Amino acid sequence: LLLDPPLRAIQDLREDPKVQVQMCDSGDEKVFYLNTTKPPFDDKNVRQAIFYAIDRQAIMDAVYYGLAPKGQGIFPAWHWAYDPQADFYPYDPEKATQMLAEAGFTAENPLSLEIVTTEATEYLDTAVLLQDQLAKVGVKATVSYMDKAAWTAKTWPKDGTANPAFEASVY
């Protein structure tokens, strides 16, 4: 019995006649957080522009080998509140570029941000893909990472309050 093998190994395992692969839905979620307490992310239009710049299906295909469904919102497909028709921010780089320009971010004045994540492969790979996708709409993103314990301590202090320590984060 092998639980939770690396996703990159699933196809090879499926092709092995001695192996039976069983898959199930997961409630696991990966989130791209933006710190809404500080400019420019306190501007709803800037946040929306960033989300229009993200090709979630490309991330699912590259990072999760096409085995995970594209995120449609905060609820997984098995949840009673899941809406399969919901696509809050469909990939639309032209709209993202336009909205960023309306917010004052252009090639001459680009939006810059740092995406901080943990060293876990899927988080780091997602952050790098986000960096590339955001670059296509003129956003200059850098990616940095730290071990999970350090990230957690900085994000969720012992006093139980959320600490918006980062501009952006993948987790």
- Specify the residue for token string 């946040």: 47
Instruction: State pLDDT tens for residues 95-124.
Output: 999 999 999 999 999 999 999 999 888 899
pLDDT of residue 86: 77
pLDDT of residue 94: 98
Q: How far are the Cα atoms of 36, 52, 59, 122 from residue 46, in angstroms, in the given order?
A: 10, 10, 21, 26
pLDDT of residue 111: 97
Q: Exposed/middle/buried for 55, CB within 10 Å: 0-12, 13-18, 19+?
A: buried
Following CA atoms 23, 58, 168, 92 in sequence, which dihedral angle do they give, to the nearest 10 degrees? Answer: -130
The model's pTM: 0.85
pLDDT of residue 46: 97
Residues of the chain with pLDDT under 50: none
